[in-house]
Structure 1
Amino acid sequence: MNVELLLQELSLVSKKFELINQKTGGYFNIFEITDIWSDEVIVCRVLHEILSPEGTHFQGNKYLKRFIKDVLKMDMSEEELESAKVFREYRIDNNRRIDIAISTINHFIPIEVKIYAGEQANQCFDYAKTAKNSKVYYLTRFGDFPSDYSANGLTKQGNGYLEISCISFSEDIINWLESCASQSETIKIAPIREVLFQFMMTIRKFTNQMEDEKEMEIVDILMKSPENMKSALDIQNCVNQARVKLMKQLFAKIESKVGRIKLENEYDYASDDYKNCNDFYKYKYSTYPGISYEYKSKVKPNIDIWVRIEIDNRIFIGYCCPVDGKSVKQALTQDEIEQILGVKTHIDDWWAYWEYVPDGNDELCPNFKAANDAYLKLFNETFLEKFTTKCAAKIIELLNK
């Protein structure tokens, strides 16, 4: 079977399960309806509520016990488990906050959660100093280690660090939630059971997994013949190339439609033979490809203001304030930004203000890592033209403000 025929057969499977989900309410997921499915703050709140013995599920420490045993791989006595407390955004020195922390009579267990957010300098190093008889558990989509930027000062061990234990949403958390949902008492309590199932569906979405039945049908198709598998491997090898090509096309169209001279620097999408685009899908963090235009120069010594469009995971446009042409922590005060730009600030590192495109709504904003519906539409030429036109218009609006 050639690649095109294989894609057609797989498309039929996708349409079949789309119809099933429509008829059975599979798409009625409160996490997705409210667009909080990849919000780390919300995800941590849900995790905390499930883990906490004092959670509104009123199941005591049942879910926490399974988490400690099956996810953290730790042995604790019943006496120690009874002493356990679970905290969210636990404050430590330097105003840092640990996403989730578990405290018992013998342990203090810090858990850092990363879905799409970037890392902070020495973050894991600082958390490791708070751990008691425990490592720092680093929870990411696929169980990745933190970078040297976050773990600087910790003890290198192979590809990771002695003080860090990596756990994943894709396997560890999914398996734990399935175990919680299968408990006899939980099965009888519909609200808890359904929230757990919807949370699992949400995690499968941001870890690029599909329903088990759909996955098995696709696996069966691939195993029909050597030709099918060869076609699948050909597709796999080309997917990221296609995604990078789309990114380059998008920026080129925006640049052409803005029609002004951009700034040539290391943050540009085409810099160093498109390195920021070419490397975008190689790493768990973003390479931040984008386009910058000068808005005002030397608003203070060495500080400029640019209008910039950039891709982190989603694509957004706004004003950033480089110092000597470099991305550094915001060098202007909130009052200075509001006086110079006439906008309510949205300070985030060197950003003074930003908004998602096309219209500030993150749900309608393409997510280049999670491949949401808004992103997939960009592969339609007509939609891509309309989207890039809106982006260019927004850039011109900010430049002319």
Structure 2
Amino acid sequence: MTINFLIQEISGIHNKNELIKRKTGGYYNIFEIAGIATDEVKMCRVIYDLINPKGRHSQGNTYLKLFIEHVLKLHIPLLENVQVYRELLIEKNRRIDLFIEAKGYKIPIEVKINARDQENQCEDYAKVALNSNVYYLTKFGTMPSTYSSKDQNIVTPISFAHDILLWLKKCLEQSDTIKLAPIREVLLQLIVVIKKFTGQMEDENQMDIKTVLTSSPESMKSAFAIEQSLSVIKLDKLKSIFNEIEKRIGKEKLQNEYDWEFNNYKRHNTYYSSKSYTYPGISYPYKTNIRPGIDIWFRIELEDYIFAGFVVANNGKLEDQKLTEKEIKKCLPHIVPKIDSYWAYWEYLPNDEDAPNFKYPEENDLYFKLYDDRYYENFINECIKKINMIFNS
């Protein structure tokens, strides 16, 4: 089967299944619509309500028991007076995402979907734990960096990809849950978004495509040729965007380890192949020596989406936030601080509604539109408008 014929057949499969999804409501997922899917804060609210015996589900401690058994893998005999907290405030103004307190147990849980580690974060959480490690919940159960905890033995990694999905399926198996349509549908939709952002979603579309690709040696040979070309094409698009933004900004950027070209394009070249985020970007000096060694850079960066704003550098390093909100307001009087790790303020490019997802392009069609020349030119123009607005306000 030739490559052209293979593409035509797969395109036909995709169009057919897309039509079916539209007619059956398969694209309607409240977690994606509300932007909850990969937002740590909002996702914690959902998990918190499910494991909270006083949650709106009115199922008592049923889901909490399953969470303790299948996610935390602990045996806690007495759960009558258990307390569940969200964003529990502790010393150093730390906020623990989720915290479970039962007789003889205090269990801190840190949730990281996309956010970065903070300095000594897990070590500080361990100080309030009792008969428990710090549970570190990530997409794939990765350990925190030594920046968060030099002692890795105090941390137990758990994952959305396995542990949370297993727990949600156990919740769905409960007879009362099956009878309660609102709760059942929420759990099913939550499972779908987690499968999507952990790369486990296999729908009718993928199954049909598998059938075509494995139908003959020639089909597989063509598929391999497409796969090899696709990885290059995606990186070429990123390179084109970074080059175009640099050219149109026309200022001298900072040559440092956070630049997309540094070390023979390492951050750029490993963006798609790395399980963790590489954060390729471009940085420009903005204000220097706010405090000894503390500078503010204007930065364009790629995570899932491209965004731009102001970061706080400590001796040339992007680490935990070193400025207070009051100091940021004084240095950047034209913005309302949006503090996230080393970020003082950021906005999606070109805006919230039109930001393509580069890491998971199937989330919306905006990424694919970048391969239309007219759309791509407009995308770059709108990005530059937003950059100039933030930088020059």
Q: Is the 8 A contact 1:71 1:172 kept in 2?
A: yes
* Alignment partners' CA distance in 2, 1:238 and 1:113: 36
Q: What is aligned with 1:382?
A: 374
CA positional deviation for 1:24: 1.4
Q: If the length of structure 2 is used for normalisation, what is the TM-score? A: 0.86
**Counterparts of residues 1-400 of structure 1 (less than 5 Å):** 1=1, 3-77=3-77, 80-155=78-153, 163-232=154-223, 235=226, 239-295=230-286, 305-322=296-313, 325-327=316-318, 334=325, 337-338=328-329, 341-346=332-337, 347-359=339-351, 361=352, 363-371=353-361, 372-373=363-364, 374-400=366-392
Structure 2 vs 1, CA of residues 386 and 74 (structure 1 numbering), >3 Å: closer, same or farther?
A: same
Match of 1:160 in 2: none
Alpha-carbon distance between aligned partners in 2 of 1:81 and 1:226, rounded to the nearest angstrom: 58
- Helix, strand or coil for the counterpart of 1:139? strand
Gaps of 5+ in 2: none
Which shows bigger deviation, 385-394 or 294-303?
Answer: 294-303
Percent sequence identity over aligned pairs: 49
Shift of 1:332: 5.7
2:349, 2:177 → 1: CA distance? 41
Moved more, 169-178 or 41-50: 169-178
8 Å Cα contact 1:122-1:153 kept in structure 2: no
Does 127-136 or 47-56 show the bigger shift?
Answer: 127-136
Q: CA deviation at 1:313?
A: 3.2
Q: CA deviation at 1:358?
A: 0.7
Q: Could you tell me how far 1:52 is from its partner in structure 2?
A: 1.5
In the alignment of these two chains, the number of paired residues is 390
Mapped partners of 1:349, 1:75: distance in 2: 35
Q: TM-score, normalised by structure 1?
A: 0.84
* Secondary structure class of the residue paired with 1:247: helix
Q: Deviations over 1:283-333 (max 9, x none)?
A: 444333222334456677766554332223321122345455544555666
Could you tell me whether the CA contact under 8 Å between 1:308 and 1:395 is conserved in 2? no
Contact 1:276 1:289 in 2 (8 A): yes
Partner of 1:158: none
Letter in 2 for 1:175: L
- 8 A contact 2:118–2:320 mirrored in 1: no
Q: Distance in 1 between matches of 2:223 and 2:16?
A: 20
Farther-moved stretch of structure 1 (45-54 vs 96-105): 96-105
Q: CA deviation at 1:343?
A: 0.8
Whole-angstrom CA distance in 1 between matches of 2:160 and 2:355? 24
What secondary structure, in the 3-state scheme, does the structure 2 residue paired with 1:138 have?
strand
Structure 1 residue identity aligned to 2:258: Y
CA distance in 2, matches of 1:336, 1:286: 29
Instruction: Quote the Cα distance in structure 1 between the aligned partners of 2:183 and 2:206.
Output: 26
| 1:236 CA drift (Å) | 5.0
Q: Which runs of 5+ in 1 are unaligned?
A: 156-162
**Which stretch has the larger CA shift, 259-268 or 321-330?**
321-330
User: In structure 2, how many angstroms separate the alpha carbons of the residues matched to 1:300 and 1:110?
Assistant: 34
AA matched with 1:105: K
Q: Greater CA deviation, 270-279 or 350-359?
A: 350-359
